[in-house]
């Protein structure tokens, strides 16, 4: 979505003709008219209003303490506090951290927890000692690195710089949670390609995908969730196992309401370069209609993995953003809190915020 606001100034010329109301009222402006407006914009005109990349402000900083309150019934606060202590220790290359219990230690140092919440540490930090030393005792957890500690600190610093660059390129400081979700969805669809991750990368798959910009549903859903967490939006990977449908996507919470967002099925390499909204902010019904049952979801961050064995629900009941089939992003009016999109019949809009 970064730099698309420049083009949206010209799209607005077409949009204002529509007298489009809230929800999904049909507009009079067609995609052909939008294309016509765009074609009248010369390269010289665009260059006049485009800010040089060197003026890009650093609005966002790396957040080492990402957090998902949705999981509190099964991942209690002391687990999170212990994990955040671990993150602080890893950033300094230390070999111990304060920890509340063995159970908290096990969750904090699990490779899945690292992959989803501190990706650079996955497969580079372990809770297994070679000499049989107890990993946790007397409120202190031990850390073992599979690479020199100082090299890990640099690896983590490089990773953090990469994350911050994405946030400050694609987001703006006054974005609300919906805008963050949409713009980072656009980032995913514009940047990543669908490709199996090699088994022998020596890195966690989430980290590998973020560095190499390729992965499959498990990695893409985790990456999208991670960037949302870094931007202050609660999100995590969920998935389903069903006959003919082994799939993962991202569960996103906007204004206290859950939605299913699928960053895999809308990749622009598969959609002729358009940002398709069919799989953005889906309801349970939308997800089921596409062949993904939601009554038996997996959630890797849960201690027992399956939602049915937890006290956490991943429902998405509200049809606040029920995009029609083959809906293509057109324009985001951030002042009026309106998202404009079009399908085969014309231009529509939906209010948010």
pLDDT digits (tens, 9 = 90+) for 149-184: 999 999 999 999 999 999 999 999 999 999 999 999
pLDDT for the residue 57 = 65
Residue 23 — left, alpha, or beta (φ > 0 → left; ψ -120 to 50 → alpha)? left
- The pLDDT of residue 25: 40
pLDDT of residue 283: 97
Categorize the per-residue pLDDT at 56 as very low, low, confident or very high, splitting at 50, 70 and 90. Answer: low
pLDDT at 11: 38
Mean pLDDT of the chain: 87
- pLDDT tens readout for residues 277-311: 999 999 999 999 999 999 999 999 999 999 999 99
Residue 272 pLDDT greater than 50, yes or no: yes
Q: How far apart are CA 347 and CA 34, in angstroms?
A: 9
Cα separation, 16 vs 336, in Å, equals 12
Give whole-number Cα distances, 8 to 5, 153, 170, 191, in Å.
5, 41, 15, 20
Of 190, 209, 188, nearest to 198 by C-alpha is 209
Higher pLDDT, 33 or 322: 322
Reported confidence tier of residue 325, pLDDT bands at 50, 70, 90: confident
Evaluate if residue 344 carries a pLDDT over 70. Answer: yes
User: What pLDDT sits at residue 17?
Assistant: 33
pLDDT of residue 329: 97
Instruction: List, for residues 9-46, the tens digit of each pLDDT value.
Output: 333 333 333 333 344 443 444 444 444 433 433 333 33
CA 231-233-235 angle, to 5 degrees, is 120
Question: Would residue 313 be called left, alpha or beta, if left means φ above 0 and alpha means ψ between -120 and 50 degrees?
Answer: beta
pLDDT at site 6? 34
Query: In the predicted model, what is the mean pLDDT of residues 191-210?
Result: 95
Distance between CA 67 and CA 108 in Å, rounded? 12
User: Given its phi and psi angles, is residue 323 left (phi above 0), alpha (psi -120 to 50 degrees) or beta?
Assistant: beta
Instruction: Determine how many CB atoms are found less than 10 A away from the CB of residue 194.
Output: 15
């Amino acid at each position: 979505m970064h730099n698309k606001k420049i083009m949206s100034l010209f799209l607005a010329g077409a949009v204002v003709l529509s007298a489009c109301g809230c929800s999904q009222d049909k507009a009079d402006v067609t995609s052909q008219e939008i294309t016509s407006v765009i074609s009248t914009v010369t390269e010289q005109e665009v260059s006049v209003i485009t800010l040089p990349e060197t003026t890009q402000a650093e609005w966002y900083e790396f957040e080492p303490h990402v957090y998902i309150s949705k999981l509190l019934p099964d991942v209690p606060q002391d687990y999170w506090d212990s994990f955040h202590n671990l993150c602080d220790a890893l950033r300094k290359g230390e070999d111990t951290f304060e920890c509340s219990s063995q159970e908290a230690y096990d969750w904090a140092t699990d490779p899945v927890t690292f992959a989803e919440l501190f990706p650079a540490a996955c497969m580079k930090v372990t809770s297994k000692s070679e000499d049989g030393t107890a990993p946790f005792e007397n409120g202190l957890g031990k850390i073992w690195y599979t690479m020199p500690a100082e090299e890990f600190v640099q690896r983590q610093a490089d990773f953090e710089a990469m994350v911050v660059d994405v946030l400050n390129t694609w987001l703006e400081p006054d974005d609300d949670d919906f805008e963050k979700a949409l713009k980072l969805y656009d980032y995913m669809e514009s940047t990543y390609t669908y490709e199996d991750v090699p088994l022998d990368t020596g890195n966690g798959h989430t980290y590998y995908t973020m560095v190499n910009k390729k992965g499959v549903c498990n990695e893409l859903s985790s990456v999208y969730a991670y960037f949302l967490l870094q931007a202050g939006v609660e999100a995590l990977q969920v998935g389903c196992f069903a006959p003919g449908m082994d799939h993962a996507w991202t569960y996103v919470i906007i204004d206290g309401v859950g939605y299913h967002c699928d960053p895999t099925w809308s990749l622009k390499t598969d959609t002729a370069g358009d940002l398709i909204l069919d799989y953005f902010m889906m309801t349970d019904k939308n997800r089921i209609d596409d062949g993904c049952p939601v009554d038996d979801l997996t959630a890797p961050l849960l201690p027992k993995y399956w939602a049915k064995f937890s006290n956490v629900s991943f429902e998405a009941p509200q049809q606040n953003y029920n995009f029609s089939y083959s809906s293509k992003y057109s324009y985001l009016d951030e002042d009026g809190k309106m998202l404009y999109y079009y399908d085969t019949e014309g231009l529509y809009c939906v209010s948010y915020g």
